[in-house]
């Protein structure tokens, strides 16, 4: 039985990290199943799933990956996956919305908005945020349960920071798909 | 996965550039309401309109709220009343008009179009009766809009109808003299009238349309203007080809939003979706002006040489972006230049830089025609008819829709202000050169034959 593992690796960004990681996995007899990678503020991070031969240990995989970089360069975490096969796609029990927050930065923005969303059973499926000086930007793709009142959510979200220069918008994802995707086909067609 | 900059651009359109849907117009067939008894006819019309449209406003409001995109106007368009009420004479037509007005009020739509006659090749007795009834109908009703199609590329120009409309327009103005002749703002005289136009005052439910249909008018010119200003402010010194490209891209996005909302409304109401009309319809609000788009393109004085070319670019780019965005484009789909409803155009008329002749030239490259133009109250009927004939000729020869919405303002002369209020705005009364010289031509009547290229089979 192969070992199904999930690996996260973080490092300061440079050219050649993915090449080094892929070579290391290949040399350990592994096969990469899926990758998600990004660079943020000059730091590289990658999350990947891979299958290794049954006699591979998690420690051996971690050590192999750490050795692929300079000493102390790669911070690696390796865990056994609970299930080798991805779950069959589930019907979403809600509609996709895009949440945007733009304005002046303050320390409590992400904690307050995420707490509000969690309290309303709204799942965040993708999140991006950054600051440039005083300016803050957050874009989240979320799934809103169908029994939620969208207009009330919009009112609540705008009310999270009263009298503070932070614009909060929650819009249906179809608007963004319609205005940006050439091949968008409306479900009502 | 959506890109960050795409998301931000869309948010900017929604929140900063005031993207909206200008109108949702529900087309309703009334041909099955016909009855030899006028009371029964009115009852059937009212029952059907209320039954079909009673949820229109609430559905639009719910969808606008859920998507965060305002729907500015909700309207109805009905089958040509000259056919629906054929045989009932002017008195019966007036009763039907009051019924339409009452039903519109009941379902809370601001306007209902379709008090219409199609007379491009000749008029039936009921169409003549409808035309004769217009002064009374448009002065006694609040929400009823009318259109008369006097010409088409296939049929030519019915000059007898054109002659008649000049007199009728003067009568409507006289009947609504206390409101600066406002009744004329609810009437369009067309060439090549479209059957699925959602914009007023010219909307009606054509014979080729289904029982009920939802048609959409996209957002106004403000979005295009601000997108263009932002693009130019980026310091790229774009040439006109790049300007056209930016307008095209914006039009694509605007059209997509319009169709998305339109299909949601149609689905919620259980009616088929019809068309998206790409027309940029200005309002008197600052920043929501076709004239201001031309100014952003470098036409510093509206009406100066270059104005027609700039408008042609705008009109074409809007169509190209919209056509790529949707396979259901229809209606008039061009930039409107309604003078009193467009702050920059109204100002240019007041300043004397934008004159009637230039406006006429501009209508040959855009939609829809000489629109919302206040003229001196003492203009003679034949001059009005001749202006209609000129505009109809542009539509007929160029195989496009043109319309005339002239408002003679009783008791006022060129340079005075006419005030209509709300979306209809206000404008200086325009001077008509060589006024009073068209009678010999108009008096000839008859039909101007269809142009050679109408025989294209």
**Those residues with Cβ within 8 angstroms of residue B356's Cβ, 6 or more apart along the chain or in another chain:** B370, B373, B387, B430, B431, B432, B433
CA A175, CA B254: separation in Å to the nearest integer? 10
Q: Would you place residue A87 in the very low, low, confident or very high pLDDT band (cuts 50, 70, 90)?
A: low
Q: Are B340 and B372 a contacting pair, CB within 8 Å?
A: yes
In a domain, B306, yes or no: no
CA distance B104 to chain A (A): 28
Structure tokens at B282: 């200005």
Q: Which residue has better confidence, B354 or B18?
A: B354
Q: Which residues contact B176 (CB under 8 A, 6 or more apart)?
A: B138, B139, B182, B183, B184
Residue B413 in any domain: the answer is no
Q: Of B17, B69, B72, B26, give the one whose Cα is nearest residue B49.
A: B26
pLDDT digits (tens, 9 = 90+) for B404-429: 999 999 999 999 999 998 889 999 99
Name the residue with higher pLDDT: B7 or B41. B41
CATH number where B160 lies: 3.20.70.20
> Rounded to a whole number, what is the distance in Å from the CA of B138 to chain A's nearest CA?
38
Residue in the structure block whose two tokens are 């201001």? B292
Query: What residues of B are in contact with residue A95 (Cβ under 8 Å)?
Result: none
Tell if the CB–CB gap between B6 and A176 is shorter than 8 Å.
yes
Q: pLDDT by residue (tens digit) across B199-211?
A: 999 999 999 999 9
- Closest chain A CA to residue B322: A179
What pLDDT is recorded for position A85? 60
Residues of chain B in contact with residue A180, where contact means CB-CB under 8 angstroms, are 2-3, 6, 9-10, 253
Q: What is the pLDDT of residues B146-201, one digit of tens each?
A: 999 999 999 999 999 999 999 999 999 999 999 999 999 999 999 999 999 999 99
Asked if the Cβ–Cβ distance from A188 to B256 is below 8 Å, we say: no
> Looking at the domain assignment, is residue B440 inside a domain?
no
Whether residue B253 lies inside any domain: the answer is no
pLDDT at residue B356 in the model: 97
Instruction: Please tell me the distance from the alpha carbon of residue B435 to that of residue B360, in angstroms, as a whole number.
Output: 16
**Residue B130 clears pLDDT 50, i.e. is over it:** yes
Rounded average pLDDT over B307-336: 93
> pTM, whole model, 2 decimals?
0.88
Across the interface, of A100, A139, A178, the residue whose CB is closest to B257 is: A178
**Burial class of residue B103 (count of CB atoms within 10 Å of its CB; 0-12, 13-18, 19+):** buried
Closest residue by Cα to residue B370 from B359, B380, B378, B379 = B359
Q: Measure A5 CA to nearest chain B CA, in Å.
A: 26
Are the beta carbons of A179 and B256 separated by less than 8 Å?
yes
First to last CA, chain B: 48
Contacts of A107 (CB under 8 A, 6+ apart): none
Question: Are the Cβ atoms of A188 and B263 closer than 8 angstroms?
Answer: yes
* Percentage of chain B exceeding pLDDT 70: 100
CB-closest option in A175, A180, A184 to B67: A175
In chain B, how many domains are there?
1
- 3-state SS class at B180: coil
Predicted local distance difference test score (pLDDT) of residue A41: 87
Chain B residues inside the 8 Å CB shell of A154: 68
* A134 vs A120: CA distance, rounded Å: 29
Predicted local confidence at residue A189, as pLDDT: 46
Is B134 within the bounds of a domain?
yes
Q: A42 is written with which tokens?
A: 């000059």
Q: Is residue B180 part of a domain?
A: yes
Runs of H (alpha helix) within chain A: 17-27, 58-67, 109-119, 150-159, 173-180
d(CA B298, CA B290) in angstroms, rounded, equals: 13
Question: What are the pLDDT digits (tens) for B221-254?
Answer: 988 998 888 888 887 778 999 999 999 999 999 9
Is the model's pLDDT at A91 over the cut of 70? no
Identify all chain B residues contacting A100, using CB atoms and an 8 Å cutoff: 7-8, 11
pLDDT category at B324 given cuts 50, 70, 90 is: very high
Determine the residue of chain B that is closest to A150 in CA distance. B66
Residue of B nearest to A174 (CA): B260
Sign for the pseudo-dihedral over CA of B251, B252, B257, B262: positive
For B263, the closest chain A residue by CA position comes to: A188
B149 occurs within a structural domain = yes
B269–chain A Cβ distance below 8 A for any pair: no
**Which two tokens mark A149?**
């009142």
DSSP state of A29: T
> Radius of gyration over alpha carbons of chain A, in Å?
21
CB-nearest partner of B66 from A150, A173, A177? A150
**What's the domain range around B31?**
24-191
State yes or no: pLDDT of A86 exceeds 70: no
Name which of A38, A141, A146, A178 to mutate to probe chain B: the one with the most chain B Cβ atoms within 10 A of its Cβ.
Answer: A178
Looking at beta carbons, which residues of chain B come within 8 Å of A141?
A: 2
In whole numbers, what is the pLDDT of chain B averaged over residues? 95
- CA distances A94 to A121, A148, A175, A181, B11, Å, are 10, 9, 16, 21, 22
Buried b (16+ CB within 10 A) or exposed e, B210-248: eebbbbbbbbbbbbbbbbbbebbeeeeebeeeebbbbbb
Please give the average per-residue pLDDT across B436-446, as a whole number. Answer: 97
Mean pLDDT confidence for A96-124: 92
Are residues A100 and B7, on separate chains, in Cβ contact within 8 Å? yes
Q: Is the residue at B2 inside a domain? A: no
Q: Is the pLDDT confidence value at B61 over 60? A: yes
Least CB-CB distance to B15: which of A139, A141, A169? A169
List the strands of the sheet with A31-40, edge to edge.
A31-40, A43-52, A3-12, A75-80
């Amino acid at each position: 039985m192969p070992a199904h593992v999930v690996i996260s690796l973080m490092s300061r960004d440079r050219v050649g990290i993915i090449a080094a990681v892929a070579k290391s996995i290949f040399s350990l007899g592994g096969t990469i199943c899926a990758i998600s990678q990004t660079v943020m503020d000059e730091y590289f991070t990658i999350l990947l799933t891979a299958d290794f031969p049954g006699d591979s240990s998690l420690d051996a995989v971690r050590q192999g990956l750490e050795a692929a970089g300079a000493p102390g360069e790669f911070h690696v975490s390796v865990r056994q996956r609970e299930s080798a096969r991805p779950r069959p796609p589930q019907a979403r029990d809600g509609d996709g919305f895009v949440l945007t927050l733009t304005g002046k930065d303050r320390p409590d923005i992400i904690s307050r908005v995420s707490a509000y969303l969690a309290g309303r059973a709204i799942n965040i499926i993708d999140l991006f945020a950054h600051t440039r000086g005083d300016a803050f930007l957050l874009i989240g793709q979320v799934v809103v349960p169908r029994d939620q009142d969208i207009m009330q959510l919009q009112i609540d979200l705008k009310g999270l920071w009263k009298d503070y220069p932070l614009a909060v918008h929650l819009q249906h994802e179809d608007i963004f798909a319609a205005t940006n995707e050439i091949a968008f086909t409306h479900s009502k067609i | 996965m959506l890109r960050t900059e795409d998301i931000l651009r869309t948010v900017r359109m929604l929140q900063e550039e005031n993207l909206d849907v200008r109108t949702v117009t529900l087309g309703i067939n009334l041909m099955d309401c016909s009855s030899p008894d006028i009371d029964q006819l009115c009852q059937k019309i009212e029952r059907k309109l209320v039954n079909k449209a009673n949820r229109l406003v609430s559905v639009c409001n719910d969808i606008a709220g859920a998507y965060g995109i305002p729907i500015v106007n909700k309207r109805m368009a009905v089958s040509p009343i000259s056919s629906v009420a054929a045989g009932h004479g002017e008195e019966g037509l007036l009763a039907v008009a009051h019924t339409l007005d009452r039903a519109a009020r009941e379902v809370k739509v601001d306007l209902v179009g379709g008090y219409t006659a199609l007379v491009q090749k000749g008029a039936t007795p009921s169409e003549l009766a409808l035309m004769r009834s217009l002064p009374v109908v448009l002065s006694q009703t609040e929400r009823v809009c009318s259109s008369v199609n006097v010409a088409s590329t296939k049929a030519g120009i019915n000059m007898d109808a054109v002659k008649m409309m000049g007199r009728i327009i003067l009568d409507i103005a006289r009947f609504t003299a206390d409101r600066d002749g406002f009744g004329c703002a609810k009437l369009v005289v067309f060439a090549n009238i479209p059957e699925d136009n959602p914009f007023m005052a010219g909307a009606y439910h054509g014979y080729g349309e289904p029982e009920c249909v939802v048609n959409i008018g996209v957002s106004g010119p403000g979005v295009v203007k601000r997108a263009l200003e932002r693009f130019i402010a980026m310091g790229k010194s774009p040439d006109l080809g790049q300007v056209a490209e930016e307008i095209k891209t914006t039009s694509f996005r605007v059209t997509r939003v319009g169709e998305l909302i339109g299909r949601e409304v149609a689905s919620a109401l259980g009616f088929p979706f019809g068309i998206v009309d790409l027309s940029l319809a200005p309002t008197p609000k600052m920043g929501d002006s076709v004239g201001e788009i031309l100014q952003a393109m470098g036409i510093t004085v509206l009406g100066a040489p270059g104005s027609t070319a700039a408008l042609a670019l705008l009109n074409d780019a809007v169509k190209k972006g919209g056509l790529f965005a949707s396979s259901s484009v229809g209606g008039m789909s061009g930039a409107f230049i309604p003078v009193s409803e467009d702050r920059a155009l109204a100002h240019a008329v007041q300043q004397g830089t934008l004159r009637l002749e230039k406006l006429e030239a501009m209508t040959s490259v855009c939609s829809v025609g000489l629109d919302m133009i206040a003229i001196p109250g003492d203009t003679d009927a034949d001059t009005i008819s001749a202006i209609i004939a000129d505009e109809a000729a542009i539509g007929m020869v160029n195989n496009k829709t043109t319309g005339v919405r002239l408002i003679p303002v009783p008791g006022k002369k060129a340079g005075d202000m006419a005030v209509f209020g709300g979306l209809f705005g206000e404008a200086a009364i325009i001077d008509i050169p060589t006024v009073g010289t068209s009678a010999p031509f108009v008096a000839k009547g008859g039909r101007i034959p269809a142009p050679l290229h109408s025989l294209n089979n």
